[in-house]
Amino acid sequence: MATITTYRRLFEVRLLHEYYLLSKSNLSFFDLNDPGRLAVLQERLLLNQYLLRKDLRIEPTESTKTTLAGLRWHFVPTATGFTVAASTKDVPVGNNLVTKPAIEPLPLTSLYFIVRRNNPLFLNYTALPLLKPDLPATYYFSNRPEAVHDTGFRSMSVPVPPFDPGKAYEMGELANHGPDIKEYTAHTDPAKQWRTVGAGLDLGYVHAGDRIALPKRFVYPLSKSQNILQADFTLKNSSGDILKTISVQSAKPIERVVLDFSAIPNPNDPAKTLAPLDGVYQLDVNAGPVQETRQLFLTDAYVGSAFAVIQINFGETDADYRILGPGNELRTIPDPNGNPIPPLFEIRLRSRITYWRYVPIFRGEQFEPGSPYLDYVQQEGNSVTTLLPQPMSYLPIGVRPENSANPVEPKFPQPMPTPIKPKPPDQLYSEYSTLHITGVIDLV
């Protein structure tokens, strides 16, 4: 007699990009309530207007493919990310039947998924740093308890770090201004240089602090001009225990140090070494003028050309972030409409903000804004520029005004996410070459 195998979803990872989800409302997609977000997302999916799958592709690592095959689990791409489904069994527990994976995972089972960029313009409309980091790190997302906690969703990003007055921020970068989360606008008016994006909330946005994934052997660069002749690099675990120290010295200024943490001393036998587990570690750097502490996620799943690595840890016991119950039973959570769904994790990507400049298509012409639109744009040379930076959007939504009480002005055309132009000292511009637009931009 044939046996019917039942598959059920264990969890889902959803990548939500504001670029595809903005509307004419002044509210961000992430500012909507749970039912509102779900309705917008479903509408965009139905109309084939959520195209992130063309920008990014997600695939399990080779070791994860082997793990999934051994457990009889399946990786299933979705329009918003992916899910993993497992063959299941019903097990009697007391007077009830409990559903578990047919093959139960070991407590330390981890699954790794690599996120690659298909679209070279992805960063042009994604609010992440454009400057190349000093370390070759990629973004790291996981169901770890250090991630942002919220009753409405389970983020895979860690909280936004506090504002650092000594740091040079890129336009659009986030900082926690205690307690508000704000973005740097690079406005010429100091009072407008930081704009609130989450009043008293950390909404789980992806930010530069998530860029910590590295291999267990990597190069740490130092500046020759700093004339560093000796440097110490100490790796510590989450408890603060020293795992390995690498010291270098030279008669000439040190420019690069190879840090090899693929083997660390065995605490039970110092004459031997062991391979450290994948995990988040602390790196303390003592190199003359360079004194810093960094969090790093060291992993064998690192891919230098990738955008990110996603780790799903089945050993996580945090009530919000665990995948299975204490007895390996399948878990469900309520969706915005109260329906039970498997654990759902979100990676929230914000749209890049730029100032929009409208340039006359014919040489010698000059634009100046009409009086009804002085709350939206200002004259700059022969062009017109938005007063505030605007979020990039897949659908044309117009220009948001300086006065938030005013509606979005749809008559201004929206630039495409073509190469971004910098304007010293730190502003970013998107340009749109256009003819006269009746009632909006007057020709002189």
Average pLDDT per block of 10 residues along the chain, 444 residues long: 74 96 80 86 94 96 97 96 95 86 93 96 95 94 84 86 94 93 94 89 90 97 93 95 95 95 90 92 95 96 97 91 93 84 94 94 85 89 93 90 85 86 93 76 63
For residue 304, give every residue at least 6 positions away whose Cβ sits within 8 Å of its Cβ, in sequence order, or none: 136, 138, 215
Q: Model-level pTM?
A: 0.94
State how far the Cα of 379 lies from the Cα of 102, in Å rounded to an integer: 67
Burial 202-229 (b: 16+ CB within 10 A, else e): bbbbbbbebbbbbbbebebebeeeeebe
State how far the Cα of 365 lies from the Cα of 380, in Å rounded to an integer: 13
What residue type is 186 in one-letter code? A
State how far the Cα of 81 lies from the Cα of 64, in Å rounded to an integer: 17
Q: Which residues pair with residue 78 across a beta bridge?
A: 81
Q: What six digits make up the tokens of 144?
A: 């770890």
State how far the Cα of 190 lies from the Cα of 193, in Å rounded to an integer: 5
State how far the Cα of 416 lies from the Cα of 430, in Å rounded to an integer: 8
Can you tell me which residue has the tokens 């002005």?
A: 409
Q: What is the DSSP letter of 192?
A: G
Q: What six digits make up the tokens of 246?
A: 């690498």
Backbone angles phi, psi at 38, to 5 degrees: -60, -40
Domains and CATH numbers, the chain: 7-159+202-210+304-349 (no CATH), 216-295 (2.60.40), 353-443 (no CATH)
**pLDDT tens-digit series, residues 121-150:** 999 999 999 988 899 999 999 998 888 877
State how far the Cα of 368 lies from the Cα of 379, in Å rounded to an integer: 6
- The whole-number pLDDT of residue 250 equals 94
- The whole-number pLDDT of residue 2 equals 47
Q: What six digits make up the tokens of 240?
A: 């603060």
- The whole-number pLDDT of residue 439 equals 60
Can you tell me which residue has the tokens 């790796």?
A: 235
